[in-house]
Amino acid sequence: MLKFTPTEAERLLYRRQFVLGPNFLKILPLWQRAEIGNNLFLQAHPDLELTHARRKGVELTLLGYLIDPDNPEFSNQDILENMLSRIVSAYDIFEATYRLGGRWIIILDNGKEAILFNDASGLRQAFYTQEGTPQLWCASQPKIIAQELGLTFDKEAERDFINSPYFRETKGIWWPGDSSPFKEIKLLLPNHYLNLNKGTPHRYWPNKRITNISLEEGVRKGSELLKALMISVHKRFNLAFTLTAGWDTRVLLAAGKKVSKDMFYLTLIAGRR
């Protein structure tokens, strides 16, 4: 069995995660630190990319990475600077991310509004304390917040869900809706933002009636965007591709045709019990 030294084990704990709150946590002395606005303190694991940009009183903080299909050579910093040039009101930030890929959280602060939101699929998760708790905390997972505030499992969740056959079979990787093991902590849902001044979530998309397009046009637009994203991510990272028989794998394999020779491929054989 692979063994880690104490230093290595400490680095692996909460890897690529973050915590945002009214003060820095002393239990995370080696994490990156940043102050946002006048009352928010951000800590990010050393292996989580942390990028800042500021323009005309508007500050953007990025956790994770962004991919720009229209500018393949752009770094995280370049993308943030480009976004800032297009923002007039704080809520312009949402539309500025519509074509972007990646796994990320963005925090915007302009001195009046402070908001946090994540990628369209919510792949980089954000949990937060509900309105009514003494102070707002936000983190990659609820356990970090619960440890700081001394919270215990919700009795109803423990009785009705944690002890259910479904939870045991899935090893707890999925919780319904915006719930968590703690009554005081909720998950920020995809296409929602968190008002960091009030601690309240709000849906930001869809913000207007969705119009229909033909299947042919949808396929064309979707394939063009996926191909551009694959080229852009190839310019930023060394890629590994997990092959299965699913439609998602087949679509991405086709979309990455132009960069296929530079990718590492792997697959798996699922054993039967």
Cα gap 36→111, rounded to integer Å? 10
Are 239 and 104 members of one domain? no
Confidence of residue 67 (pLDDT cuts 50, 70, 90): very high
Place of tokens 């396929």: 219
pLDDT at 170: 78
Of 179, 203, 227, the residue at which a domain comes to its end is 203
pLDDT of 173: 77
0.85 surpassed by pTM: yes
Q: Which among 194, 33, 207 is positioned nearest to 113, based on CA atoms?
A: 194
The total number of structural domains that make up the chain: 2
End of a domain among 203, 232, 250? Answer: 203
- At residue 247, does pLDDT exceed 70? yes
| Domain assignment of residue 1, yes or no | no
Mean local confidence (pLDDT), 99-118? 96
**197 vs 3, higher pLDDT:** 197
Query: Half-sphere exposure of residue 66, counting CA atoms within 13 Å on the CB side?
Result: 28
Non-local CB neighbours of 17 within 8 Å, separated by 6+ positions: 44, 45, 48, 139, 140, 141, 144
pLDDT of 213 > 70? The answer is yes
How far is Cα of residue 128 from the mean position of the Cα atoms in its chain?
13
Helix (H) or strand (E) holding 192: strand 192-195
Share of the chain above pLDDT 90, in %: 75
**Does the residue 96 lie in any domain?**
yes
Position 145 in a domain: yes
Does 126 lie in the same domain as 80?
A: yes
Which residues constitute the domain of residue 86? 6-203
Give the phi and the psi of residue 137 in degrees, each rounded to 5.
-125, 145
Q: Which of 182, 203, 224 is the last residue of a domain?
A: 203
Q: How confident is the model at residue 176 (pLDDT cuts 50, 70, 90)?
A: confident
Shared domain for 26 and 108, answered yes or no, is yes
Both 124 and 225 in one domain: the answer is no
**Same domain flag for 197 and 76:** yes
Query: What pLDDT does 16 receive?
Result: 95
Say whether both 256 and 184 belong to one domain: no
Residues 56 and 161 placed together within one structural domain of the fold: yes
pLDDT at 84 over 70: yes
Instruction: Indicate whether 174 and 236 sit together in one domain.
Output: no
Residue 180 falls inside a structural domain: yes
Q: In what order do the strands lie in the sheet with 192-195?
A: 50-55, 58-67, 101-109, 114-118, 192-195, 200-203
Would 209 be classed as within a structural domain? no
Does 223 share its domain with 174? no
Q: What is the pLDDT of residue 174?
A: 82
Residue 83 has pLDDT above 60, yes or no: yes
**Residue 19 placed within a domain:** yes
Tens digit of each residue's pLDDT (9 = 90 or more) over 12-45: 889 999 999 999 999 999 899 999 988 999 999 9
| Domain at 65, CATH number | 3.60.20.10
Residue 93 in domain:
yes
Read off the pLDDT band of 5 (50, 70, 90).
Answer: low
Question: Quick one: 100 and 222 in the same domain?
Answer: no
Do both 88 and 167 map to the same domain? Answer: yes
Q: Is residue 271 assigned to a domain?
A: no
Shared domain check, 163 and 254: no
Dump the DSSP string for 118-173: E-TT--S--EEEPBTBSS--EESSHHHHHHHHT----HHHIIIIITSHHHHHHTT-
